[in-house]
Structure 1
Amino acid sequence: MAGIGFSLNRLFQKKGVLNLCRAYAYAGAVAIGPMVMGVCLLIGISFVSQVAGMPQNEREIMNCMLTYSLLVSLFVSSFFNMILTRYISDMLYEGKRERVMPSFFGALAIMLPICFVGYGIFLTFSGVPIVYRIVSMWFAMIMIVVWTQMNYLSALKDYRSIALGFASSMLTGFLLALVLAMIRRGTVLSLMFCVIFAYGIMGTWYLILMLGYFPHGKGSPFTYLRWFDKCRALAFTGVFVNLGLYGHLMIMYFGPLHRRIMGLFFAAPSYDIPSLTAFFSILITTISFVTSVEVRFYPEYRQYYSLFNDKGSISDIEAAEDRMVEVLSRELSYCGCRQIVSTVLFVVFGGFIMDILPLGMMDLGKGIFRTLCVGYGLYAIANALMLILLYFEDYTGSVAATGAFALVANSITIWQAARGDTAYYGWGFMAGAIVYFIIALLRLEWSTRRLPYLLLGRQSAASAQDSGPFTSLENILTRIDKRSKISDKMARPVLMDGSRKAVRPRRK
């Protein structure tokens, strides 16, 4: 989490309630700050649209454009994110920092065209004005850049600059929207531009941080594609998590609760609002997992693995393994207990808070909210277990757990949307979360009993997978990239000293 563990260690070592509160505040600012501030920006833009006097149908189409673009960017980047994270960590471990930045541009060179073609086909037949299609595509492509940058920022260990960039960009976008509303220029296009401008500032800020930390690029920008053949299950893990987490929302857009906003843009406010509100119940688990993993579990994990590299004795390895598993079990138990308390509080007091807030939620929405609170709570605990599986490189277990989660959650939700009673909406996601939790827990229990085998027995099998469709694709794209560089170089005239300069166009 952007190096926050180093600061947390110093704060947790100090005694006193104030230092403990500061430590959890730091963890919260980095772990959930970006998500909370992003949601606050979207809520703020919605509030500004009301202040500006925009008609309700225009506010709804703007919300649909933002939601659809966010979901598209998440799904496109989900197939690459975990592979890029693994590739970056491998390059840093091998001391090849110069190979990191080319992978960023190589990933964007593939993801952006995929988004442009796939989302472009939908927008072409969406039935909305062409200017709405342009800004929707623009926002989706900027978000792909930002989601991809998140994979690289954790290596910087400069969470202050990262948090400052996020806060300043979000605040700039909101203030710009507020100014436009005050001068009566608040329209769908102008407010969409404010959101795009905010995330554009953030992407530029993060790119400057990345270029300042990583050295000048060297090597092919498509080398990371080989990691898809080496860690294929890891790529599908990211896809399945997003399918399970957001798939039920998209299915409800075409169920009995849906409303046609414009063309192919649908919404289900009776399901969206309870889902977003219930999602906040897992924030405590996110903070708890960061403090547990970064501060307590990771030192034991690193010590255990270093004994294999440093030729530790068998007795030392077994003792380190026992300590690591004990710490892991204790911290995961604490994490689960905190989530149970958070879920109970949201279920008990959430209905009263919704009656106070102007959300317009009826009894159906409150029932969906309570069901999704339980579902998101189980998802949060299961996701923590899955992330520990990734620590132990149990990619088979992680893809099995996440795949079952996506399959069960979406299958039952589709059945409910087609035939189910509206009173039981949300149970599909909760059922998927239950399956996710059970499989992840059983697999983690199985893995912790076979750690030496997972560490040593699978190394040769993993290193042997050096060929596959993505490796062939990498070779093709690398040859194309080299040819384009040679053509660009040959197009420059040769000087007396043998160097080349850029060609400047003649004036007529």
Structure 2
Amino acid sequence: MFVAGIGFRLTKYFSGKNVWDNLKGTIYSTVISSGPWLISVLSVFFVGLYAQHGLNRHDLYVFKCIISYTFAASLLLFGAFEMPLTRYLADKLYMADISTFRGVFINIVTIAVITSGTLGYFFYAFFDWGIILRMICVGLLAAILIVWSSMIFLSASKNYVKIVISFLIGGASSFVFSIVLGKQFALIGYIGGYALGQILTAILLAQNVFSEYSDFEYFSLEYLTYFSKYKKLIFVGMFYYLGIWVDKFIFWYSEVGDHVEGLFYTNQYYDTAMFLSYLTIVPSFAVFMVQVETDFYIKYTYFYRAIEDKYNLKFLENGIEEITISLKKTIVNLIKIQTFVSVICWYFSQEIVELLYLPSLMEPVFKYGVIGAFLQILFLISNIVLLYFEERKPVLINYLIFLISNLVLSGITVEMGVRYHGLGYVVSSLLTLISSFYFLNETLKNIDYKTFMSQKMTSENFITN
């Protein structure tokens, strides 16, 4: 949800017929849009695959739980401030004022570290662990929060090579450090090595933020006003990430889940199958970056600039038509690409599961996950577009539908047997997509009305002779 603005910078790679430029643009858009979770998921998968030979079953489950719970906690915390902070940075970029960015970033990093320490202290008090393992887990949470936060600030960065290198170095380091340290220190080595790689990623990204924004105001707290000014955005992020994780929570803490240790519960079949299904939507993220954030954004800004310059009604109506055509084209292309990818993965699900040496029990869950992820990427993009048009209430409603329906339907299907595990997520995503398409269609039909009626009545709104 924090990729807005990057795609506009990528236009130059796709503006010509140079194959190499197109390839670079595709790689950059894929890594920047999906890099944080894609590389993290892949590194976790390969580390976990290797750790199977070095850890007993219990320690392996503890390792996977630490990673899963850390990512869940980081996203739930991140969701509370992601959208207001993104809005603040977007407004500042629009005004060409980046003087506060460094100071704000330092504030966010400080909050991330304090929050991680506090949350980790109370959560891991329920575990009979040594201080070293607890500190590693807290450091991992802080590092991942800093990674998420850095990506907001780097959304306008031109240093694509540095961003790509940061994620690749961090992901590779997590894998290498885990293997090397895991051989010597077992569980602490594996999780410590993975944490070191993520900390390195956070450091590299933070360095990019500092180099990108040279102006520095130490104690700018202006961004805090956006949390009161845009309260709905706080819940938009929270509801979305809660919706993503609520079905996992249900499968962890239900009868089909396994108690690992302390507060750790898991369901390896459901978790692994769902995380793999999320990888199938990477192509859609790349297409979204290039098409929505370039073609759509150009027409979007052109339309609102025309309003500011007081162009005539006919000109504005043409602008609305161009915006609508651009969005329809983008959504159709997304559906075509994602349908192809999803159908291939669904049809060859058995082969994919066997190739990765996973239990056959995961196959039906993976199939449901592929369909659900397809629907999720469509409603996610629809809601991002709605936010462009300041439609915060509809987005809040959509994500609340996603959260509640996923909670209820997953609770029902978890009792229906393994054949139906994941069906709740699919139906929930479908309901959210229907609601999102409805609000998006209503918004596009009434862009002119909503745009003008949402403005405050001042003398500047009128043309004077």
For 2:434, the equivalent position in structure 1 comes to 438
Q: 1:172-213 CA distances to partner (integer Å, 9 max, x unpaired)?
A: 3322333335xx414211222212211222222122221222
CA contact (8 A) 1:34 1:163 kept: no
Equivalent runs, 1:28-39 vs 2, <5 Å: 28-39=30-41
Please give the alpha-carbon distance, in whole angstroms, between the structure 2 residues aligned to 1:216 and 1:177.
38
Please give the alpha-carbon distance, in whole angstroms, between the structure 2 residues aligned to 1:430 and 1:350.
17
CA contact (8 A) 2:179 2:193 kept: no
CA contact (8 A) 1:165 1:205 kept: yes
For 1:403, the equivalent position in structure 2 comes to 400
Please give the alpha-carbon distance, in whole angstroms, between the structure 1 residues aligned to 2:129 and 2:27.
43
Aligned residue type for 2:370: C
Please give the alpha-carbon distance, in whole angstroms, between the structure 2 residues aligned to 1:456 and 1:220.
36
Please give the alpha-carbon distance, in whole angstroms, between the structure 1 residues aligned to 2:8 and 2:285.
18
Aligned residue type for 2:216: G
Aligned-pair distance for 1:7? 6.2
For 2:247, the equivalent position in structure 1 comes to 248
Equivalent runs, 1:72-91 vs 2, <5 Å: 72-91=73-92
Distance verdict in 2 for CA 1:426–1:293, change over 3 Å? same
| Residue 377 (1) aligns with residue 374 (2) | yes
Please give the alpha-carbon distance, in whole angstroms, between the structure 1 residues aligned to 2:136 and 2:13.
44
- Greater Cα shift, 370-379 or 5-14: 5-14
| Residue 12 (1) aligns with residue 14 (2) | yes
For 2:349, the equivalent position in structure 1 comes to 350
CA contact (8 A) 1:123 1:133 kept: yes
Aligned residue type for 2:433: F
Aligned residue type for 1:229: S
Aligned residue type for 2:271: D
Q: 1:6-37 CA distances to partner (integer Å, 9 max, x unpaired)?
A: 66433333236665445433322332344322
Which structure 1 residue ranges, 4+ long, deviate > 4 Å from structure 2? 1-4, 16-22, 127-130
Aligned-pair distance for 1:142? 1.6
Answer with 1 or 2: which has the greater Rg.
1
For 1:481, the equivalent position in structure 2 comes to none
Q: 1:249-288 CA distances to partner (integer Å, 9 max, x unpaired)?
A: 1221112221122222111012112111211221221112
CA contact (8 A) 2:76 2:238 kept: yes
Please give the alpha-carbon distance, in whole angstroms, between the structure 2 residues aligned to 1:244 and 1:259.
22
- Greater Cα shift, 161-170 or 15-24: 15-24
Equivalent position SS for 1:54: coil
| Residue 454 (1) aligns with residue 455 (2) | no
Distance verdict in 2 for CA 1:200–1:219, change over 3 Å? closer
Q: 1:102-141 CA distances to partner (integer Å, 9 max, x unpaired)?
A: 2223334444444433443222124444433322222112
For 1:159, the equivalent position in structure 2 comes to 160
Equivalent position SS for 1:261: strand
Identity among equivalent pairs (%): 21
CA contact (8 A) 2:227 2:234 kept: yes
CA contact (8 A) 1:139 1:196 kept: yes
Structure 2: 5+ residue stretches without partners: 458-465
Distance verdict in 2 for CA 1:393–1:276, change over 3 Å? same
- CA RMSD, 1 decimal: 2.2
Q: 1:467-490 CA distances to partner (integer Å, 9 max, x unpaired)?
A: xxxxxxxxxxxxxxxxxxxxxxxx
Please give the alpha-carbon distance, in whole angstroms, between the structure 2 residues aligned to 1:228 and 1:313.
36
- Greater Cα shift, 350-359 or 140-149: 350-359
Distance verdict in 2 for CA 1:95–1:4, change over 3 Å? closer
Please give the alpha-carbon distance, in whole angstroms, between the structure 2 residues aligned to 1:103 and 1:412.
40
For 1:107, the equivalent position in structure 2 comes to 108
Aligned-pair distance for 1:153? 0.7
Please give the alpha-carbon distance, in whole angstroms, between the structure 1 residues aligned to 2:103 and 2:185.
40
Q: 1:292-311 CA distances to partner (integer Å, 9 max, x unpaired)?
A: 11332121112111112223
For 1:62, the equivalent position in structure 2 comes to 63
Aligned-pair distance for 1:81? 0.7
CA contact (8 A) 2:177 2:196 kept: no
- Greater Cα shift, 15-24 or 444-453: 15-24
Aligned residue type for 2:390: E
Please give the alpha-carbon distance, in whole angstroms, between the structure 2 residues aligned to 1:16 and 1:92.
31
Please give the alpha-carbon distance, in whole angstroms, between the structure 2 residues aligned to 1:96 and 1:117.
34
Please give the alpha-carbon distance, in whole angstroms, between the structure 2 residues aligned to 1:29 and 1:385.
21
Distance verdict in 2 for CA 1:105–1:164, change over 3 Å? same
Alignment coverage as a number of residue pairs: 455
- Greater Cα shift, 352-361 or 77-86: 352-361
Aligned-pair distance for 1:88? 0.7
CA contact (8 A) 1:30 1:163 kept: yes
